[in-house]
Chains A and B, each alone.
Chain A
Amino acid sequence: MTHREGVLTRNTAAARINHWITGICFVLLLLSGLAMFYPLMYPLSALFGGGQWTRAAHPWFGVVLMLSYLGLFVQFVRDNFPTRADGAWLAAIPRVIVNEEEGVPEVARFNAGQKFVFWSMTFLVPILFVTGLAIWEVYFSAYTSIETQRIAVLLHSLCAIAAILVWIVHVYAAIWVKGSIRAMTQGYVTPGWAWRHHRAWLRSLAATGSTGPRPRARRG
């Protein structure tokens, strides 16, 4: 995709494809999972062709999501390690919430909130995957005891609800901070967006003459 002159690449095409495979799987898992979690949500199973289809399809969405998330992890982990600056940013969060970002500590590629989403999902997705295998009746019911399955199904639902809450934060933040959705659909942000929300990232790009998403590697 050709970007406008002077904009910065926020997410590469590979990262975007990877992200949206994960995202689509997550939404499918959310809909089919809630159908099997709460009676009032059961009509959602119609979206998948009925209860039997919902039960059969849900674990496969999970397998695709697990593989896809591994890709996301590899692509994004370098910029998600906690730093000292994250604490200062978190302390300033009351100002961030009300859109007064001037004076808030400068943020690199990801702020502490984004890192929270990343590490929450990195923690929850593998638990959901493993507990999901334990309760995947068709293929794996013979390999675990019923008591193990009881623990697994409780853990699975607890982690699923936690993941949904994290996901709501993630989606709302993208809607709230204008320009973020384009960063994940078309892949680019304007210098003004970077200045406002990720100034340390913008500085690192400017210093190395990179157009993103990462500063150009120094040679020598």
Chain B
Amino acid sequence: MSDLQSQDYIRRSATTLTPPSVRDHEQEVAKLIDVSRCIGCKACQAACMEWNNLRAEIGYFEGSYDNPSDLNPSTWTLMRFTEWEDEKGNLEWLIRKDGCMHCEDPGCLKACPAPGAIVQYANGIVDFISENCIGCGYCVKGCPFNIPRIDPVDHKSYKCTLCSDRVGVGLEPACVKACPTGAIMFGSKSDMTMWAGERVEDLKSRGFANAGLYDPPGVSGTHVMYVLHHADRPSLYAGLPDKPRIDPFVGAWKGLFKPVALAGIAFAVAAGFFHWITAGPNEVEPEDEVKGRRLLEKGDKA
């Protein structure tokens, strides 16, 4: 969406001033992925490729239904299949549509050093603006969900845009449109949270006592949420983080250290300058030359 004047930024990477934000009244949106209704058909994956015009390189069979085996610069969403045996010995096939979670507090954006390479719109969508991306990979370190992928050819970072171009003109994301079972829903975040509540009630009534909504508070909530039958153990679903948050090392690096470091450098330069205008340069006096030369002559004779 880089060519559209959004003017509804709530965050802009590596930017210390307020970005254009006059149109920031819009509602927060959310995509709700109801894992319990997913049949693993991969229509969402195909729709994502089609709408975003992505053609990943043909890969190899890796022994699982995951295809391709991982996210890559041309695969922004991926069905991850997990075969899990519950306590009663029943096999459960857990299928999770992986992709950017569009965190309310995005670690990628926090880590990004390039002004405007990552933005967050008032509707909550986190978008990569490729022309500003410098390919450093800091977003990879910032992300608690291991989502961004750097293209080895153009050195740009890619991930799901939540179809910001479609949402911007009032359409739902392509994956939502393609889902045949209604497992992927899209709307305002409050509507999706309410709908998730109904789904969780239903699942609980059907014996999934730990069913719940995945909207992790460690990143101030996400704009992609899951309904999980085992919300007490998100990591069952192909390693979905149980308690995602921006890594403390990233927090330290991008937090207090930055201004303190800059102030330290400024202080050192200022200290040098004020020493110069008070103590002044240390110059060799003519008598030093006399003494130095005398010592050398004496030494020569010795």
Binding site for B on A (CB under 8 A): 6, 35-40, 42, 45, 50-52, 54-56, 97-99, 101, 135, 137-138, 141, 146-147, 149-151, 153-154, 157-158, 161, 164-165, 168-169, 172, 175-179, 190-197, 202-203, 205-209
Contact = CB atoms under 8 A, between A and B. Distances in A.
B115 A179 contact: no
Chain B's interface: helix, strand, loop or mixed, by majority?
helix
Given A149-B141, A191-B296, A206-B296, A169 B289 contact: no
Nearest to B290: A192
A6 B249 CA distance: 57
Given A137-B136, A146-B140, A178-B281, A190 B292 contact: yes
B298 interface: yes
A168 B269 contact: yes
A153 B152 CA distance: 20
A192 B140 contact: no
A203 B272 contact: no
A45 B132 CA distance: 12
Interface string B97-139: 0000000000000000111000000000000000011111110
A55 B157 CA distance: 13
A137 B137 contact: yes
A52 B134 contact: yes
Interface of B: 14-16, 113-115, 132-138, 140-141, 146, 150, 152, 155, 247, 249-250, 252-253, 257-258, 261-262, 264-265, 268-269, 272, 275-276, 279-286, 288-293, 295-296, 298-300, 302
28 contacts: A38-B261, A39-B14, A39-B16, A50-B134, A52-B135, A55-B135, A56-B135, A56-B155, A99-B280, A137-B155, A138-B135, A153-B249, A154-B249, A168-B265, A168-B268, A169-B268, A175-B276, A176-B279, A176-B282, A177-B281, A191-B292, A192-B286, A193-B284, A193-B288, A195-B292, A196-B285, A203-B299, A205-B299
Contacts of B113: 35-37, 39, 42
Contacts of B249: 147, 150-151, 153-154
B279 A51 contact: no
Nearest to A147: B247
A154 B14 CA distance: 17
A97 B279 CA distance: 8
A202 B135 contact: no
A15 B26 CA distance: 64
Contacts of A55: 134-136, 155
A147 B144 CA distance: 10
B281 A176 contact: yes
A177 B282 contact: yes
Chain A's interface: helix, strand, loop or mixed, by majority?
helix
B141 A150 contact: yes
Given A52-B134, A56-B155, A192-B290, 18 more contacts: A37-B113, A39-B14, A39-B15, A40-B262, A42-B113, A51-B133, A98-B279, A101-B282, A146-B146, A147-B247, A157-B261, A168-B269, A172-B272, A178-B283, A192-B293, A193-B292, A194-B292, A202-B296
Most buried by A among B253, B275, B281, B282: B282
Contact of A203 (B275, B279, B295): B295
B279 A195 contact: no
Nearest to B253: A154
Given A37-B113, A164-B265, A176-B275, A150 B300 contact: no
A209 B296 CA distance: 8
Contacts of B293: 6, 191-192
A112 to B, nearest CB: 16
Contact of A138 (B155, B250, B292, B300): B155
B114 A172 contact: no
A192 B284 contact: yes
Most buried by A among B15, B135, B286: B135
Contacts of A206: 295-296, 298-300, 302
Nearest to B300: A209
Contacts of B298: 206
B282 A99 contact: yes
A136 B163 CA distance: 31
Contact of B115 (A39, A98, A192): A39
A161 B155 contact: no
A6 to B, nearest CB: 7
B284 to A, nearest CB: 4
Contacts of B135: 52, 55-56, 137-138
Contacts of B281: 175-178
